[in-house]
Structure 1
Amino acid sequence: MTELRFDGRVAVVTGAGRGLGRAYALLLAARGARVVVADIGAAVRGDGADPGPAAAVVREITGAGGQAVACTESVATPDGGRAIIDAALERFGRVDVLVHNAGNVRYAPLAEMTSEDFDAVLDVHLRGAFHVVRPAFPHMCAAGYGRVVLTSSIGGLYGNKRVAGYAAAKAGVVGLSNVVALEGADHGVTCNVIVPSAVTRLADGIDTSAYPPMDPGLVAPAVAWLAHETCTISGEMLVSIAGRLARAFVAETPGVHRPAWTPEQVAASLDAARDTADPWILPVVPAAHNDHIGRSFAMAAKGETHAGQGV
Protein backbone atom coordinates (compact mmCIF):
# COMPACT_ATOMS: atom_id res chain seq x y z
CA MET A 1 0.00 0.00 0.00
CA THR A 2 1.30 3.45 -0.93
CA GLU A 3 2.24 5.56 2.08
CA LEU A 4 -0.15 8.46 2.60
CA ARG A 5 1.98 11.60 2.58
CA PHE A 6 1.37 15.27 3.33
CA ASP A 7 4.27 16.75 1.39
CA GLY A 8 3.50 20.36 0.50
CA ARG A 9 0.55 20.52 2.89
CA VAL A 10 0.24 22.81 5.90
CA ALA A 11 -1.58 21.52 8.97
CA VAL A 12 -2.80 23.42 12.01
CA VAL A 13 -3.32 21.31 15.13
CA THR A 14 -4.78 22.91 18.24
CA GLY A 15 -3.99 21.50 21.64
CA ALA A 16 -0.89 20.02 20.05
CA GLY A 17 1.47 20.44 22.98
CA ARG A 18 0.49 17.25 24.77
CA GLY A 19 -1.61 14.11 24.54
CA LEU A 20 -3.68 13.47 21.45
CA GLY A 21 -2.78 16.73 19.72
CA ARG A 22 0.92 16.04 20.10
CA ALA A 23 0.45 12.58 18.55
CA TYR A 24 -1.44 14.12 15.62
CA ALA A 25 1.17 16.80 15.04
CA LEU A 26 4.07 14.35 15.16
CA LEU A 27 2.44 11.92 12.72
CA LEU A 28 1.44 14.62 10.24
CA ALA A 29 4.94 16.09 10.38
CA ALA A 30 6.53 12.66 9.96
CA ARG A 31 4.45 12.25 6.80
CA GLY A 32 5.69 15.55 5.36
CA ALA A 33 3.28 18.21 6.59
CA ARG A 34 4.45 21.57 7.81
CA VAL A 35 2.70 21.97 11.15
CA VAL A 36 1.48 24.82 13.31
CA VAL A 37 1.64 23.47 16.86
CA ALA A 38 -1.02 25.54 18.59
CA ASP A 39 -1.18 25.22 22.36
CA ILE A 40 -1.51 27.81 25.09
CA GLY A 41 -0.04 25.38 27.63
CA ALA A 42 -2.92 25.62 30.08
CA ALA A 43 -3.75 23.31 32.96
CA VAL A 44 -6.51 20.69 32.55
CA ARG A 45 -9.11 23.18 33.78
CA GLY A 46 -7.93 25.69 31.19
CA ASP A 47 -6.15 27.92 33.70
CA GLY A 48 -2.74 29.44 33.17
CA ALA A 49 -0.36 29.38 30.22
CA ASP A 50 3.00 27.82 29.45
CA PRO A 51 4.82 28.10 26.11
CA GLY A 52 6.91 25.04 26.95
CA PRO A 53 4.68 22.22 25.60
CA ALA A 54 4.21 23.75 22.14
CA ALA A 55 7.90 24.61 21.89
CA ALA A 56 8.87 21.07 22.91
CA VAL A 57 6.75 19.52 20.13
CA VAL A 58 8.25 21.91 17.59
CA ARG A 59 11.70 20.82 18.71
CA GLU A 60 10.72 17.18 18.26
CA ILE A 61 9.48 17.85 14.75
CA THR A 62 12.40 19.97 13.62
CA GLY A 63 14.87 17.63 15.29
CA ALA A 64 13.51 14.85 13.10
CA GLY A 65 13.95 16.98 9.98
CA GLY A 66 10.42 18.37 9.75
CA GLN A 67 9.06 21.90 9.70
CA ALA A 68 6.90 23.38 12.44
CA VAL A 69 6.12 26.57 14.24
CA ALA A 70 4.59 27.10 17.69
CA CYS A 71 1.61 29.33 18.37
CA THR A 72 0.53 29.96 21.95
CA GLU A 73 -2.60 31.98 21.23
CA SER A 74 -5.86 30.78 22.79
CA VAL A 75 -8.68 29.25 20.76
CA ALA A 76 -11.09 30.60 23.36
CA THR A 77 -11.31 34.01 21.67
CA PRO A 78 -11.96 35.08 18.08
CA ASP A 79 -8.67 37.00 18.03
CA GLY A 80 -6.77 33.98 19.29
CA GLY A 81 -8.32 31.68 16.72
CA ARG A 82 -7.51 34.13 13.95
CA ALA A 83 -3.92 34.44 15.17
CA ILE A 84 -3.49 30.66 15.01
CA ILE A 85 -4.60 30.53 11.37
CA ASP A 86 -2.53 33.63 10.59
CA ALA A 87 0.52 31.80 11.95
CA ALA A 88 0.08 29.18 9.22
CA LEU A 89 -0.50 31.76 6.50
CA GLU A 90 2.38 34.01 7.53
CA ARG A 91 4.92 31.24 8.08
CA PHE A 92 3.91 28.74 5.40
CA GLY A 93 1.62 30.68 3.05
CA ARG A 94 -1.40 28.38 3.20
CA VAL A 95 -3.60 26.19 5.37
CA ASP A 96 -4.70 22.80 4.07
CA VAL A 97 -5.54 20.89 7.23
CA LEU A 98 -7.17 22.04 10.45
CA VAL A 99 -7.45 19.68 13.41
CA HIS A 100 -9.19 21.21 16.40
CA ASN A 101 -8.22 19.16 19.41
CA ALA A 102 -7.71 21.74 22.17
CA GLY A 103 -9.68 20.88 25.27
CA ASN A 104 -10.23 21.39 28.96
CA VAL A 105 -12.59 19.95 31.53
CA ARG A 106 -14.16 21.16 34.75
CA TYR A 107 -15.87 18.51 36.82
CA ALA A 108 -18.94 19.23 38.93
CA PRO A 109 -22.38 17.72 39.48
CA LEU A 110 -25.02 19.50 37.44
CA ALA A 111 -26.63 20.95 40.58
CA GLU A 112 -23.33 22.54 41.54
CA MET A 113 -21.81 23.53 38.19
CA THR A 114 -21.31 27.27 37.82
CA SER A 115 -22.07 29.18 34.67
CA GLU A 116 -18.44 30.31 34.65
CA ASP A 117 -17.19 26.72 34.53
CA PHE A 118 -19.78 25.78 31.90
CA ASP A 119 -18.73 28.70 29.69
CA ALA A 120 -15.02 28.07 30.20
CA VAL A 121 -15.38 24.60 28.69
CA LEU A 122 -17.62 25.73 25.82
CA ASP A 123 -15.13 28.52 25.06
CA VAL A 124 -12.37 26.01 24.30
CA HIS A 125 -14.18 23.03 22.78
CA LEU A 126 -17.12 24.51 20.87
CA ARG A 127 -16.49 28.22 20.47
CA GLY A 128 -12.83 27.35 20.02
CA ALA A 129 -13.74 25.15 17.06
CA PHE A 130 -15.63 28.04 15.48
CA HIS A 131 -12.85 30.48 16.26
CA VAL A 132 -10.35 28.51 14.19
CA VAL A 133 -12.72 27.18 11.51
CA ARG A 134 -14.11 30.62 10.75
CA PRO A 135 -10.81 32.21 9.58
CA ALA A 136 -9.50 29.02 7.95
CA PHE A 137 -12.60 28.14 5.95
CA PRO A 138 -12.54 31.02 3.42
CA HIS A 139 -8.89 30.30 2.60
CA MET A 140 -9.65 26.64 2.05
CA CYS A 141 -12.64 27.40 -0.15
CA ALA A 142 -10.64 29.88 -2.22
CA ALA A 143 -7.93 27.26 -2.69
CA GLY A 144 -10.49 24.62 -3.63
CA TYR A 145 -9.14 22.26 -1.00
CA GLY A 146 -9.28 21.70 2.73
CA ARG A 147 -9.52 19.03 5.39
CA VAL A 148 -11.13 19.91 8.72
CA VAL A 149 -11.20 17.47 11.62
CA LEU A 150 -13.12 18.47 14.74
CA THR A 151 -13.15 16.58 18.03
CA SER A 152 -16.19 15.24 19.81
CA SER A 153 -16.31 12.62 22.55
CA ILE A 154 -18.34 9.71 23.78
CA GLY A 155 -19.31 12.19 26.49
CA GLY A 156 -20.82 14.37 23.77
CA LEU A 157 -22.60 11.47 22.08
CA TYR A 158 -23.86 9.68 25.17
CA GLY A 159 -23.31 12.04 28.09
CA ASN A 160 -21.52 11.39 31.35
CA LYS A 161 -21.92 12.48 34.92
CA ARG A 162 -20.30 15.64 36.28
CA VAL A 163 -19.33 17.05 32.85
CA ALA A 164 -22.37 18.98 31.62
CA GLY A 165 -20.27 21.67 29.95
CA TYR A 166 -17.98 19.16 28.28
CA ALA A 167 -20.87 17.02 27.05
CA ALA A 168 -22.79 20.00 25.68
CA ALA A 169 -19.72 21.37 23.92
CA LYS A 170 -18.80 18.05 22.35
CA ALA A 171 -22.35 17.51 21.11
CA GLY A 172 -22.34 20.99 19.62
CA VAL A 173 -19.15 20.23 17.70
CA VAL A 174 -21.06 17.59 15.71
CA GLY A 175 -23.57 20.18 14.49
CA LEU A 176 -20.80 22.60 13.57
CA SER A 177 -18.95 19.90 11.65
CA ASN A 178 -22.07 19.06 9.66
CA VAL A 179 -22.44 22.68 8.54
CA VAL A 180 -18.77 22.91 7.55
CA ALA A 181 -19.16 19.68 5.56
CA LEU A 182 -22.27 20.95 3.78
CA GLU A 183 -20.92 24.39 2.96
CA GLY A 184 -17.53 23.01 2.00
CA ALA A 185 -18.84 20.32 -0.32
CA ASP A 186 -18.79 22.49 -3.43
CA HIS A 187 -15.28 23.79 -2.68
CA GLY A 188 -13.26 20.63 -2.10
CA VAL A 189 -13.40 21.03 1.68
CA THR A 190 -14.32 18.06 3.85
CA CYS A 191 -15.12 18.12 7.55
CA ASN A 192 -15.41 15.13 9.83
CA VAL A 193 -15.46 14.43 13.55
CA ILE A 194 -13.07 12.23 15.45
CA VAL A 195 -14.47 10.67 18.63
CA PRO A 196 -11.25 9.65 20.39
CA SER A 197 -10.51 7.91 23.64
CA ALA A 198 -6.99 7.81 25.02
CA VAL A 199 -5.29 7.96 28.36
CA THR A 200 -4.07 11.56 28.62
CA ARG A 201 -3.89 14.09 31.43
CA LEU A 202 -7.65 14.65 31.08
CA ALA A 203 -7.96 11.17 32.60
CA ASP A 204 -6.16 12.27 35.77
CA GLY A 205 -8.03 10.96 38.79
CA ILE A 206 -9.61 8.06 36.87
CA ASP A 207 -8.49 4.51 37.67
CA THR A 208 -7.16 3.29 34.32
CA SER A 209 -5.30 0.26 35.68
CA ALA A 210 -7.67 -2.20 33.99
CA TYR A 211 -7.73 -0.37 30.63
CA PRO A 212 -6.24 -1.96 27.51
CA PRO A 213 -3.51 0.02 25.72
CA MET A 214 -4.96 3.46 24.97
CA ASP A 215 -1.99 5.50 23.86
CA PRO A 216 -2.79 8.64 21.82
CA GLY A 217 -0.77 7.11 19.00
CA LEU A 218 -3.59 4.61 18.45
CA VAL A 219 -5.92 7.47 17.48
CA ALA A 220 -3.53 9.48 15.33
CA PRO A 221 -3.75 7.33 12.16
CA ALA A 222 -7.51 7.84 11.93
CA VAL A 223 -7.07 11.60 12.23
CA ALA A 224 -4.30 11.53 9.63
CA TRP A 225 -6.55 9.73 7.16
CA LEU A 226 -9.38 12.22 7.75
CA ALA A 227 -6.82 14.97 7.13
CA HIS A 228 -5.47 13.40 3.93
CA GLU A 229 -6.37 14.30 0.36
CA THR A 230 -7.62 10.74 -0.22
CA CYS A 231 -10.27 11.07 2.49
CA THR A 232 -13.52 9.97 0.85
CA ILE A 233 -16.04 10.97 3.52
CA SER A 234 -17.43 14.22 4.85
CA GLY A 235 -19.97 14.96 7.55
CA GLU A 236 -19.23 11.72 9.39
CA MET A 237 -17.96 10.67 12.81
CA LEU A 238 -15.18 8.13 13.34
CA VAL A 239 -14.71 6.52 16.74
CA SER A 240 -11.23 5.47 17.86
CA ILE A 241 -10.86 3.76 21.22
CA ALA A 242 -8.26 1.21 22.36
CA GLY A 243 -7.46 0.17 18.80
CA ARG A 244 -11.11 -0.03 17.71
CA LEU A 245 -12.14 2.01 14.67
CA ALA A 246 -15.85 2.52 14.05
CA ARG A 247 -18.42 4.87 12.63
CA ALA A 248 -20.93 6.67 14.84
CA PHE A 249 -24.03 8.07 13.20
CA VAL A 250 -27.43 9.60 13.83
CA ALA A 251 -30.40 7.50 12.77
CA GLU A 252 -34.16 7.77 12.94
CA THR A 253 -36.89 5.19 13.03
CA PRO A 254 -39.42 5.50 10.17
CA GLY A 255 -41.92 6.34 12.86
CA VAL A 256 -45.68 6.64 12.79
CA HIS A 257 -47.83 9.21 11.01
CA ARG A 258 -51.23 10.54 11.94
CA PRO A 259 -52.97 13.66 10.66
CA ALA A 260 -53.70 14.58 14.28
CA TRP A 261 -52.61 13.31 17.66
CA THR A 262 -53.82 13.05 21.23
CA PRO A 263 -51.54 12.29 24.17
CA GLU A 264 -53.24 8.91 24.45
CA GLN A 265 -52.42 8.09 20.83
CA VAL A 266 -48.80 9.06 21.42
CA ALA A 267 -48.68 6.60 24.32
CA ALA A 268 -50.31 3.85 22.25
CA SER A 269 -48.01 4.42 19.26
CA LEU A 270 -44.75 4.86 21.13
CA ASP A 271 -43.45 1.32 20.63
CA ALA A 272 -44.03 1.56 16.87
CA ALA A 273 -42.50 5.04 16.74
CA ARG A 274 -39.40 3.79 18.54
CA ASP A 275 -39.00 0.57 16.50
CA THR A 276 -35.44 0.52 15.16
CA ALA A 277 -35.88 -2.46 12.84
CA ASP A 278 -35.72 -0.37 9.65
CA PRO A 279 -33.84 2.84 10.51
CA TRP A 280 -33.31 5.89 8.36
CA ILE A 281 -29.61 6.68 8.13
CA LEU A 282 -29.37 10.01 6.33
CA PRO A 283 -25.89 11.07 5.16
CA VAL A 284 -25.17 14.68 6.09
CA VAL A 285 -23.66 15.29 2.66
CA PRO A 286 -25.27 15.92 0.28
CA ALA A 287 -28.62 16.63 1.92
CA ALA A 288 -29.68 14.84 5.12
CA HIS A 289 -31.60 17.90 6.26
CA ASN A 290 -33.67 17.90 3.09
CA ASP A 291 -34.00 14.11 3.07
CA HIS A 292 -35.41 14.18 6.59
CA ILE A 293 -38.02 16.75 5.63
CA GLY A 294 -38.81 15.09 2.30
CA ARG A 295 -39.37 11.65 3.77
CA SER A 296 -41.47 13.05 6.59
CA PHE A 297 -43.60 15.08 4.19
CA ALA A 298 -44.01 12.05 1.94
CA MET A 299 -45.52 10.08 4.82
CA ALA A 300 -47.89 12.94 5.50
CA ALA A 301 -48.89 13.13 1.83
CA LYS A 302 -49.66 9.40 1.77
CA GLY A 303 -51.59 9.64 5.00
CA GLU A 304 -49.64 6.69 6.37
CA THR A 305 -50.80 5.38 9.72
CA HIS A 306 -49.16 2.46 11.43
CA ALA A 307 -49.61 0.73 14.79
CA GLY A 308 -52.16 2.12 17.19
CA GLN A 309 -54.53 3.34 14.49
CA GLY A 310 -57.55 2.26 16.43
CA VAL A 311 -56.69 4.43 19.47
Structure 2
Amino acid sequence: MSTQEQKVAIITGASQGIGASLVTAYRGLGYAVVATSRSITRSEDPEILTVAGDIADPETGVRVVDAAIERFGRVDTLINNAGIFIAKPFTDYTDEDFATYLGINLTGFFHITRRAVPHLLAHGDGHVVSITTTLAEYADSNVPSVLAALTKGGLQSATKSLAIEYATRGLRVNSVSPGVIRTPMHAPETYEAMAALHPVGRLGEISDIVDAVLYLERAPFVTGEILHVDGGQSAGH
Protein backbone atom coordinates (compact mmCIF):
# COMPACT_ATOMS: atom_id res chain seq x y z
CA MET A 1 0.00 0.00 0.00
CA SER A 2 1.41 3.37 -1.02
CA THR A 3 1.87 6.23 1.45
CA GLN A 4 2.41 9.95 1.03
CA GLU A 5 6.13 9.32 1.67
CA GLN A 6 6.50 6.73 -1.11
CA LYS A 7 8.04 8.20 -4.25
CA VAL A 8 6.17 7.95 -7.54
CA ALA A 9 7.52 7.65 -11.08
CA ILE A 10 5.61 8.21 -14.32
CA ILE A 11 6.98 6.22 -17.26
CA THR A 12 5.77 6.67 -20.84
CA GLY A 13 6.09 4.04 -23.56
CA ALA A 14 5.89 1.52 -20.73
CA SER A 15 4.31 -1.55 -22.29
CA GLN A 16 7.46 -3.18 -23.70
CA GLY A 17 11.20 -2.88 -24.17
CA ILE A 18 13.01 -0.17 -22.24
CA GLY A 19 9.82 1.26 -20.77
CA ALA A 20 8.63 -2.04 -19.31
CA SER A 21 12.06 -2.69 -17.83
CA LEU A 22 12.09 0.77 -16.28
CA VAL A 23 8.76 0.02 -14.61
CA THR A 24 10.33 -3.07 -13.03
CA ALA A 25 13.46 -1.14 -12.04
CA TYR A 26 11.58 1.66 -10.33
CA ARG A 27 9.42 -0.79 -8.46
CA GLY A 28 12.68 -2.35 -7.32
CA LEU A 29 13.65 1.03 -5.88
CA GLY A 30 10.40 1.06 -3.93
CA TYR A 31 8.62 3.60 -6.11
CA ALA A 32 4.98 3.40 -7.05
CA VAL A 33 4.74 3.66 -10.84
CA VAL A 34 2.23 5.14 -13.25
CA ALA A 35 2.85 3.41 -16.57
CA THR A 36 1.36 4.57 -19.84
CA SER A 37 1.31 3.55 -23.48
CA ARG A 38 -1.33 2.98 -26.13
CA SER A 39 -1.43 -0.78 -25.58
CA ILE A 40 -0.72 -1.08 -21.87
CA THR A 41 -2.88 -3.43 -19.81
CA ARG A 42 -3.81 -3.56 -16.16
CA SER A 43 -1.13 -4.67 -13.72
CA GLU A 44 -1.74 -7.05 -10.83
CA ASP A 45 0.72 -5.03 -8.75
CA PRO A 46 -1.29 -2.50 -6.70
CA GLU A 47 1.68 -0.14 -6.80
CA ILE A 48 1.58 0.04 -10.62
CA LEU A 49 -1.21 2.12 -12.12
CA THR A 50 -1.58 1.73 -15.88
CA VAL A 51 -3.14 4.42 -18.04
CA ALA A 52 -3.73 3.58 -21.69
CA GLY A 53 -3.46 6.42 -24.17
CA ASP A 54 -1.65 7.90 -27.15
CA ILE A 55 1.06 10.19 -25.81
CA ALA A 56 0.67 12.34 -28.94
CA ASP A 57 -2.79 13.33 -27.69
CA PRO A 58 -2.36 16.29 -25.31
CA GLU A 59 -5.12 14.92 -23.11
CA THR A 60 -3.11 11.77 -22.39
CA GLY A 61 -0.47 13.68 -20.48
CA VAL A 62 -3.16 15.43 -18.48
CA ARG A 63 -4.90 12.14 -17.65
CA VAL A 64 -1.68 10.39 -16.66
CA VAL A 65 -0.50 13.08 -14.26
CA ASP A 66 -3.97 13.56 -12.80
CA ALA A 67 -4.26 9.80 -12.28
CA ALA A 68 -0.91 9.74 -10.48
CA ILE A 69 -2.01 12.47 -8.09
CA GLU A 70 -5.42 10.92 -7.50
CA ARG A 71 -4.01 7.45 -6.82
CA PHE A 72 -0.67 8.17 -5.13
CA GLY A 73 -0.77 11.85 -4.16
CA ARG A 74 2.53 12.93 -5.70
CA VAL A 75 4.96 12.70 -8.64
CA ASP A 76 8.73 12.56 -8.10
CA THR A 77 10.15 11.33 -11.41
CA LEU A 78 8.96 11.56 -15.00
CA ILE A 79 10.63 9.39 -17.62
CA ASN A 80 9.81 10.43 -21.17
CA ASN A 81 10.59 7.12 -22.81
CA ALA A 82 7.91 7.00 -25.51
CA GLY A 83 9.40 7.64 -28.92
CA ILE A 84 9.49 6.73 -32.59
CA PHE A 85 12.47 6.19 -34.90
CA ILE A 86 12.25 5.46 -38.63
CA ALA A 87 15.34 5.83 -40.79
CA LYS A 88 14.53 7.17 -44.27
CA PRO A 89 16.13 9.44 -46.83
CA PHE A 90 14.90 12.96 -46.11
CA THR A 91 12.71 13.32 -49.21
CA ASP A 92 11.04 9.95 -48.56
CA TYR A 93 9.46 11.19 -45.34
CA THR A 94 5.77 11.94 -45.73
CA ASP A 95 3.58 14.56 -44.13
CA GLU A 96 2.14 11.75 -42.02
CA ASP A 97 5.65 10.73 -40.87
CA PHE A 98 6.35 14.32 -39.88
CA ALA A 99 3.11 14.63 -37.89
CA THR A 100 3.72 11.28 -36.18
CA TYR A 101 7.25 12.19 -35.14
CA LEU A 102 6.20 15.57 -33.79
CA GLY A 103 3.24 14.07 -31.97
CA ILE A 104 5.04 11.26 -30.18
CA ASN A 105 8.52 12.69 -29.71
CA LEU A 106 7.75 16.35 -28.99
CA THR A 107 4.05 17.04 -28.38
CA GLY A 108 3.83 14.17 -25.92
CA PHE A 109 6.93 15.36 -24.07
CA PHE A 110 5.65 18.93 -23.89
CA HIS A 111 2.21 18.24 -22.49
CA ILE A 112 3.05 15.57 -19.92
CA THR A 113 6.17 17.39 -18.70
CA ARG A 114 4.37 20.73 -18.39
CA ARG A 115 1.59 19.05 -16.43
CA ALA A 116 4.03 17.20 -14.18
CA VAL A 117 6.45 20.02 -13.30
CA PRO A 118 4.38 21.66 -10.53
CA HIS A 119 4.16 18.29 -8.78
CA LEU A 120 7.84 17.53 -9.38
CA LEU A 121 8.71 20.79 -7.63
CA ALA A 122 6.58 20.05 -4.60
CA HIS A 123 9.08 17.96 -2.64
CA GLY A 124 12.32 19.65 -3.68
CA ASP A 125 13.95 16.70 -5.45
CA GLY A 126 12.02 16.08 -8.66
CA HIS A 127 13.61 14.53 -11.72
CA VAL A 128 12.83 14.38 -15.44
CA VAL A 129 14.67 11.96 -17.73
CA SER A 130 14.12 11.80 -21.49
CA ILE A 131 15.33 9.03 -23.79
CA THR A 132 16.81 10.52 -26.96
CA THR A 133 19.30 9.18 -29.55
CA THR A 134 22.97 9.75 -30.29
CA LEU A 135 22.05 10.28 -33.95
CA ALA A 136 20.48 13.59 -32.92
CA GLU A 137 23.98 14.97 -32.41
CA TYR A 138 26.23 12.68 -34.44
CA ALA A 139 24.82 12.06 -37.88
CA ASP A 140 25.73 8.88 -39.75
CA SER A 141 25.45 8.69 -43.54
CA ASN A 142 24.43 5.05 -43.20
CA VAL A 143 21.37 5.97 -41.14
CA PRO A 144 19.51 8.94 -42.66
CA SER A 145 17.25 10.10 -39.85
CA VAL A 146 16.48 13.81 -40.06
CA LEU A 147 13.16 13.55 -38.24
CA ALA A 148 14.81 11.76 -35.33
CA ALA A 149 17.49 14.46 -35.24
CA LEU A 150 14.84 17.19 -35.40
CA THR A 151 12.68 15.82 -32.62
CA LYS A 152 15.07 13.99 -30.31
CA GLY A 153 17.55 16.81 -30.78
CA GLY A 154 14.78 19.10 -29.59
CA LEU A 155 14.46 16.99 -26.45
CA GLN A 156 18.18 17.31 -25.79
CA SER A 157 18.01 21.09 -26.12
CA ALA A 158 14.94 21.16 -23.88
CA THR A 159 16.81 19.06 -21.32
CA LYS A 160 19.51 21.68 -20.93
CA SER A 161 17.09 24.59 -20.98
CA LEU A 162 14.79 23.10 -18.34
CA ALA A 163 17.74 22.01 -16.20
CA ILE A 164 18.94 25.60 -15.98
CA GLU A 165 15.47 27.07 -15.55
CA TYR A 166 14.78 24.86 -12.52
CA ALA A 167 18.30 24.29 -11.16
CA THR A 168 17.71 26.32 -8.00
CA ARG A 169 14.23 24.94 -7.39
CA GLY A 170 14.95 21.29 -6.70
CA LEU A 171 14.15 19.84 -10.12
CA ARG A 172 16.83 18.04 -12.10
CA VAL A 173 16.44 17.37 -15.84
CA ASN A 174 18.61 14.89 -17.75
CA SER A 175 18.59 12.72 -20.87
CA VAL A 176 19.94 9.33 -21.83
CA SER A 177 21.15 9.21 -25.43
CA PRO A 178 21.31 5.59 -26.66
CA GLY A 179 22.91 3.99 -29.62
CA VAL A 180 21.01 1.07 -31.14
CA ILE A 181 19.51 -1.08 -28.41
CA ARG A 182 18.27 -4.64 -28.77
CA THR A 183 14.52 -4.08 -28.34
CA PRO A 184 11.31 -5.26 -30.06
CA MET A 185 11.59 -2.13 -32.23
CA HIS A 186 14.34 -3.76 -34.31
CA ALA A 187 14.06 -6.93 -36.38
CA PRO A 188 16.72 -9.57 -35.57
CA GLU A 189 17.88 -9.68 -39.18
CA THR A 190 19.07 -6.06 -38.82
CA TYR A 191 21.20 -6.65 -35.73
CA GLU A 192 24.50 -7.29 -37.50
CA ALA A 193 24.29 -4.14 -39.63
CA MET A 194 23.23 -2.00 -36.69
CA ALA A 195 25.94 -3.40 -34.42
CA ALA A 196 28.49 -2.11 -36.94
CA LEU A 197 27.38 1.46 -36.15
CA HIS A 198 29.05 1.17 -32.75
CA PRO A 199 32.82 1.19 -32.25
CA VAL A 200 32.42 -1.62 -29.69
CA GLY A 201 30.92 -3.76 -32.47
CA ARG A 202 27.70 -4.85 -30.77
CA LEU A 203 24.22 -3.67 -29.92
CA GLY A 204 23.36 -2.19 -26.59
CA GLU A 205 21.05 -4.02 -24.22
CA ILE A 206 17.94 -2.74 -22.47
CA SER A 207 19.75 -3.14 -19.17
CA ASP A 208 22.37 -0.62 -20.32
CA ILE A 209 19.72 2.08 -20.64
CA VAL A 210 17.97 1.12 -17.42
CA ASP A 211 21.28 1.29 -15.55
CA ALA A 212 21.95 4.74 -16.99
CA VAL A 213 18.54 6.04 -15.92
CA LEU A 214 19.02 4.63 -12.43
CA TYR A 215 22.44 6.27 -12.22
CA LEU A 216 20.87 9.63 -13.02
CA GLU A 217 18.10 9.00 -10.50
CA ARG A 218 20.70 8.52 -7.77
CA ALA A 219 22.97 11.42 -8.82
CA PRO A 220 21.71 14.56 -7.06
CA PHE A 221 24.58 16.72 -8.38
CA VAL A 222 23.88 15.86 -12.03
CA THR A 223 21.50 17.98 -14.09
CA GLY A 224 21.45 19.12 -17.70
CA GLU A 225 23.36 15.97 -18.64
CA ILE A 226 23.06 14.15 -21.99
CA LEU A 227 24.37 10.74 -20.95
CA HIS A 228 25.54 8.82 -24.03
CA VAL A 229 25.05 5.08 -23.79
CA ASP A 230 26.00 4.24 -27.33
CA GLY A 231 28.97 1.89 -27.53
CA GLY A 232 31.33 4.76 -28.35
CA GLN A 233 29.24 6.08 -31.24
CA SER A 234 29.41 9.67 -29.96
CA ALA A 235 33.20 9.50 -29.56
CA GLY A 236 33.93 8.84 -33.23
CA HIS A 237 34.52 6.14 -35.83
The correspondence for 2:205, drawn from 209, 215, 226, is: 215
SS in 2 for 1:200: coil
Deviations 1:21-75 (A, max 9, x none): 111111111111101111112xxxxxxxxx44xx3xx34xx2xxx7111011222
The answer to whether structure 1 residue 151 and structure 2 residue 151 are counterparts is: no
The 2-side partners of 1:31 and 1:129 are apart by 24
Report how far residue 163 of structure 1 moved: 2.5
The 2-side partners of 1:157 and 1:185 are apart by 24
The answer to whether structure 1 residue 241 and structure 2 residue 224 are counterparts is: no
- In the TM superposition, 1:130-169 aligns within 5 A as 130-160=110-140, 161-169=143-151
The correspondence for 1:120, drawn from 100, 104, 107, is: 100
Partner of 1:87: 67
The 2-side partners of 1:22 and 1:157 are apart by 26
The correspondence for 1:192, drawn from 174, 184, 204, is: 174
- In the TM superposition, 1:95-110 aligns within 5 A as 95-110=75-90
Report how far residue 132 of structure 1 moved: 1.2
**Counterpart residue type for residue 227 of structure 1:** E
**Counterpart residue type for residue 38 of structure 2:** I
Partner of 1:9: 7
Partner of 1:25: 23
Report how far residue 159 of structure 1 moved: 2.9
Deviations 1:253-279 (A, max 9, x none): xxxxxxxxxxxxxxxxxxxxxxxxxxx
Give the gaps of 5 or more residues in structure 2: 196-201
Report how far residue 205 of structure 1 moved: 6.6
The 2-side partners of 1:115 and 1:159 are apart by 22
Give the gaps of 5 or more residues in structure 1: 1-6, 42-50, 250-311
Contact between 1:108 and 1:163, CA under 8 Å: does it hold in 2? yes
SS in 1 for 2:92: coil
Structure showing greater radius of gyration is 1
Which structure has more relative contact order (CA 8 Å, sep 6+)? It is 2
**Counterpart residue type for residue 13 of structure 1:** I
Report how far residue 77 of structure 1 moved: 2.3
Partner of 1:174: 156
RMSD across aligned C-alpha pairs, in angstroms?
2.3
Deviations 1:139-196 (A, max 9, x none): 2223322010012101211235342212211100011111211121121000001012
**Counterpart residue type for residue 74 of structure 1:** D
Aligned residues: 221
The 2-side partners of 1:127 and 1:206 are apart by 32
Report how far residue 118 of structure 1 moved: 1.3
Out of 99-108 and 89-98, give the one that drifted further. Answer: 99-108
SS in 2 for 1:192: strand
TM-score w.r.t. the length of structure 2 is 0.84
Contact between 1:106 and 1:121, CA under 8 Å: does it hold in 2? no
SS in 2 for 1:90: helix
TM-score w.r.t. the length of structure 1 is 0.65
Partner of 2:198: none
